[in-house]
Amino acid sequence: MKMKKIKKIQVALWKIYGGIKNILSAFVGRLWSVLPLYTQSYITTHTPPIGNLHYKNRVIKMNVSSTIAYKYLRAYKKEPATIRWLEKNISANSVFYDIGANIGAYSFIALMLSEIAIPIYSFEPGQCTFAVLCENIFLNKMKTIFPIPFPLSDATRLTYFSYGTLRAGSAVHPGVNMNPTLNCCFSHLVQAYSLDDLVRLANLPYPTIMKIDVDGHELQVIRGAHDVIKSPYLKTIQVEIDEKDEGCIQIVDLIENAGLKMIEKSQKGTSRTYDYRFVRV
């Protein structure tokens, strides 16, 4: 009974805090709108919103120019199971592929977990998000994180990449498709690669640990990564899988047929989307 009262008080306080935050945001927004355009441009250029992602005793600077990007400051709470997986598997000999890196939170945490500066390849095809990823790498002077802007798919080809929104940090885009008139806010022509082709053409080292989180396009990425996933260098892989998706079973089969075994999964939120984790057997 006492716990229920405490919970109600916490909920009430949180609502009050949310109301105050909304009022302040509206007031600052109104004030901002009356500033001269040059002043707005000057402030945006010289004082970008930089937040701190705290991980253990380290601090990572991150551009939070959108409310979506702001949420990544709490990456360790957003996906605690992903953090535990990284903590268990990152070592001084690791090569990490972060496919669907967004603004880079998990790439940065992976780098901090290693005794030395390991190579990390951060794949992010969303151009607005990619720009912030590059800025975050620069802010933190992380010279062994290599951002890659090409979308990954099941084959190498010119195609279109479509967006649900252009805000930095956003995800759940329609992504790679051959229909530029698809119901989306924006599309542009891109060079998509299969991961196998990109590794071969760019002479990239094979990953030892790989995370794939591309919001519904995981099956296409995995179909184009047959050699990479089959490589004995790859020890573990985490893949986001929507169990409502028809391709769910195919994803698991393709990975397990390459010599890895699914050892656990963790739910993301309240949906039927899970992070599946595989290890080489």
- Tell me, what amino acid is at 9? I
Residue 24 has pLDDT above 90, yes or no: no
Residue 13 and residue 85 in one domain = no
Judge if 19 and 149 occupy the same domain. no
pLDDT at 180 over 70: no
The one-character DSSP state at 101 is -
Same domain, 66 and 158: yes
Separation of alpha carbons 173 and 214, rounded Å: 9
The verdict on 210 and 77 lying in the same domain is: yes
Same domain, 95 and 140: yes
Are residues 111 and 12 part of one domain?
no
Task: Give the distance from CA 235 to its chain's centroid.
Answer: 21
pLDDT of residue 269: 73
pLDDT category, 178, cuts 50, 70, 90? low
CA–CA dist 23, 155 (Å, integer): 49
Q: 115-133: buried (b, 16+ CB within 10 Å) or exposed (e) per residue?
A: eeebbbbbbbbbebbbbbb
| Structural domain that includes position 109 | 48-280
Nearest of 124, 130, 129 to residue 98 by alpha carbon: 124
Question: Do residues 36 and 95 both lie within one domain?
Answer: no
29 and 71 share one domain? no
Note whether 114 and 137 are same-domain residues.
Answer: yes
Which residues, including other chains, have CB under 8 Å from residue 192's CB and lie 6 or more apart? 150, 151, 152, 153, 155, 156, 157, 158, 159, 161, 176
Q: pTM to 2 decimals? A: 0.87
The pLDDT value given to residue 168: 79
Do 40 and 84 lie in one domain? The reply is: no
58-114, pLDDT tens digit by residue? 899 998 888 878 888 887 778 899 999 999 999 999 999 999 999 999 999 999 999
User: What is the spatial distance between Cα 265 and Cα 252, in angstroms, rounded to a whole number?
Assistant: 12
Are 137 and 213 members of one domain? yes
Number of domains present in the structure of the chain: 2
Both 23 and 65 in one domain: the answer is no
Per-residue pLDDT tens digits for 204-251 = 999 999 999 998 889 999 999 999 999 999 999 999 999 988 889 999
Residue-wise pLDDT tens digits, 249-262: 999 999 999 999 99
Measured CA angle at 69 (ends 63, 70), to 5 deg = 85
Report whether pLDDT(179) > 90. no
pLDDT band at 2 (very low <50, low <70, confident <90, very high): low
